[in-house]
Amino acid sequence: MSDDDLDLNALNDDELVEQMGDDLYDGLKEEIEESTRILLDRGWTPYDVLTKSLVAGMTVVGEDFRDGILYVPEVLMAANAMKAGMTILKPLLAETGAPRIGSMVIGTVKGDIHDIGKNLVSMMMEGAGFEVVDIGINNPVENYLEAIEEHKPDILGMSALLTTTMPYMKVVIETLVEKGMRDDYIVLVGGAPLNEAFAESIGADGYCRDAAVAVETAKDFVARRHNMIGARANA
C-alpha cells in the first residue's frame, strides 16, 4: 500500500503517533490535520496531542536540521504542518473556561523569525486564563514598548531561538530600565538556547523551559504581584 492509500483511522494510537512523526517530517499538512482530529476523536486531550505527537515530531526534525540531514525548505514545510495541527488545537486549549487571571504581551525578538514555541506558549497561557497579545516575530524594542504601553499587561514575554538573537532580550530589558518602566512588568523569557543563568544575567524575572512552565511561572508571579498591590492598597 502506498502512503497515499494509508488509512490513518485504521492505525492504533501508537502507530498513528509514529505515522504523525513521519508526516510532520515530510511536511504533510493534510495528514497532520487528519491525524490530529483522529486523536481528539479518540479522547486524547489537546495537550497530549500537542506534546506527544506534534512537539515530539518537531524534536526529530530539529535534530536532523542540526545534523544537516534536513534543510530550511523542508523544515519550513514541517513547521507549516505543525502549525496546521496547532490551529485545530488552539480553540480547544484556549477555551478551558478558566477565569481571567492576568495579561501578557509576547513576541519573538528582533532578527528571529521562529514562532512555533511562542505560539504554543500563547495558546497555553490563554487556556490558563491569561489575555495574550501576540506581537509576532522579529520585534525591535520599539514594538515591545508600543505594545506594553497600549495594553498595560502584567507580563512581558520574549522568545528567541537563536544564540545570535537571544542577547537582544537584554536590549529590551535595559531600555525598560532606562525608561524607569522595568518594575511595572514581570519579564519572562524562553526559547531553546536559553537557560536560567542567562535569564538572570539579563535581568529577566524568570526563564520558562516550556509552555507548561511558562503558565506555572506566570501564575506564580501574577499572584505575588496581585498580593503586593493588595497589601499596598491596605497599608
Cβ proximity of 53 and 35 under 8 Å: yes
Among 171, 192, 203, 225, indicate the residue that binds ligand B1M (CB under 6 A).
Answer: 192
Q: How many CA atoms lie within 13 A of 103 on its CB side?
A: 12
Cβ proximity to ligand B1M: between 38 and 212 the closer is 212
Regarding 134 and contact with ligand B1M (CB under 6 A), the answer is no
In degrees rounded to 5, what are phi and psi of residue 187?
-105, 115
Cβ proximity of 58 and 24 under 8 Å: yes
Regarding 61 and contact with ligand B1M (CB under 6 A), the answer is yes
Among 190, 198, 215, 221, indicate the residue that binds ligand B1M (CB under 6 A).
Answer: 190
Regarding 121 and contact with ligand B1M (CB under 6 A), the answer is yes
Q: Which residues lie closer than 8 Å to 103 by C-beta, 6 or more apart?
A: 130, 131, 132, 133, 151, 152, 153, 154, 155
| Closest listed residue to residue 191, CA positions, set 104, 103, 107 | 107
Cα(21)–Cα(159) distance, integer angstroms: 25
Regarding 211 and contact with ligand B1M (CB under 6 A), the answer is yes
Regarding 66 and contact with ligand B1M (CB under 6 A), the answer is yes
Cβ proximity to ligand B1M: between 150 and 216 the closer is 216
Cβ proximity to ligand B1M: between 93 and 161 the closer is 161
SS3 206: strand
- Residue 71's identity, in one-letter code, is Y
Query: In the numeric block, which cell numbers belong to residue 110?
Result: 528582533
Region near ligand B1M per CB under 6 A, out of 53-61, 92-100, 144-152, 172-180: 53-61
Cβ proximity to ligand B1M: between 19 and 157 the closer is 157
Residues that bind ligand B1M (CB under 6 A): 55, 58, 61-62, 65-66, 72, 75-76, 79, 106, 111-118, 120-121, 157, 159, 161-163, 188-193, 208, 210-211, 214
